Amino acid sequence: MSKENNITVTKDFRRIENGYQMEAEICVIFSDFGKMEDFCNLLVEKLDSTVVVGSPQFFHTNKTMENIRRQACLRAVSNSQRKASEVCRLLGQSLGRPLIIREEETKENESVPSEPSTPDHTRPLTIQHQINNASMTVYSKVFVIFELKSKDNCKRNN
């Protein structure tokens, strides 16, 4: 919560009889779900019935999505290297350096919204349902060509 641009405060003042009433809405963006829970619990504990904590809204920032895409590509390359290495062992070869690495396709799938467990749909979604609904799956398809070396050449070079 160190970044001030992650906090928005809206205040509303009203005159009521001989006094004033202030309502404030505070929107905070958290990147850690546990910290958000702790903060909400603290507010409710300290301010009791004078505070209403709304339901959280979950989303992925552009930076997070970029990082997830990059990680998906890196894992796809790692998986291709592991599979190629297994094929090389089967054929009595050893795997050399990658000659070509090309990301061919990236897909992003949002999870399918889950329905509330009550048949009348009157009960709001649980936090876990909301998290599941905001989850993303990223697929990365890569094309990789590796150099192959015979095991005899590897032994001679060492």
Tens digits of residue pLDDT in 84-123? 999 999 999 999 999 999 999 999 887 765 555 555 566 6
Which two three-digit tokens encode residue 91?
A: 């054929």
Helix (H) or strand (E) holding 84: helix 62-91
**CA gap 99, 132 in Å, rounded:** 39
Which two three-digit tokens encode residue 153?
A: 């050449």
- Tens digits of residue pLDDT in 40-54: 888 888 887 778 888
pTM for the whole structure: 0.62
CATH of 62-157, one of 2.40.50, 1.10.10, 3.30.110, 3.40.1350: 3.30.110
Residues of the chain with CATH 3.30.110: 62-157
Q: Which residues contact 46 (CB under 8 A, 6 or more apart)?
A: none
